Amino acid sequence: EAQVTQNPRYLITVTGKKLTVTCSQNMNHEYMSWYRQDPGLGLRQIYYSMNVEVTDKGDVPEGYKVSRKEKRNFPLILESPSPNQTSLYFCASSLTSGDTQYFGPGTRLTVL
């Protein structure tokens, strides 16, 4: 089954404790991206990757890091999480940058 998976689905952590949210897709897609979704603000792109070893900032990259060492994986790293990063996070992938994006199930992060 073609899908985008994220782990963990739920995470509660404390300020400053480094964390990684994994994202994997099995569709051989080149383009992958991370979004956060906040009430009243909609979906905002954090980072995107056009292909392996090619990443770039989206609209709200501050406080986040990403890497793309393999085509299927695109982890999101919060090196020192803060409460304002409490949000619902989605990973997405598409064949290329202009194609339809397929979203993962989401990761609900709470930073205390």
Partner 1 sequence: EDQVTQSPEALRLQEGESSSLNCSYTVSGLRGLFWYRQDPGKGPEFLFTLYSAGEEKEKERLKATLTKKESFLHITAPKPEDSATYLCAVRGGSYIPTFGRGTSLIVHP
The reply on whether position 45 binds partner 1 by CB under 8 A is yes
- Span interacting with partner 1, options 13-21, 22-30, 67-75, 89-97, rule CB under 8 A: 89-97
Touching partner 1, residues 91-110 (CB under 8 A): 92, 97-98, 100-106, 108
Q: At its nearest, how many Å lie between partner 1 and the CB of residue 50? A: 7
The answer to whether 88 and 40 have CB atoms below 8 angstroms apart is no
Which distant-in-sequence residues (6+ apart) come within 8 Å of 61 by Cβ? 46, 47
Q: Which of 58, 74, 93, 95 binds partner 1 (CB under 8 A)?
A: 58
CA pair distance 77, 19, nearest whole angstrom: 6
Provide the token pair at 13.
Answer: 């952590």
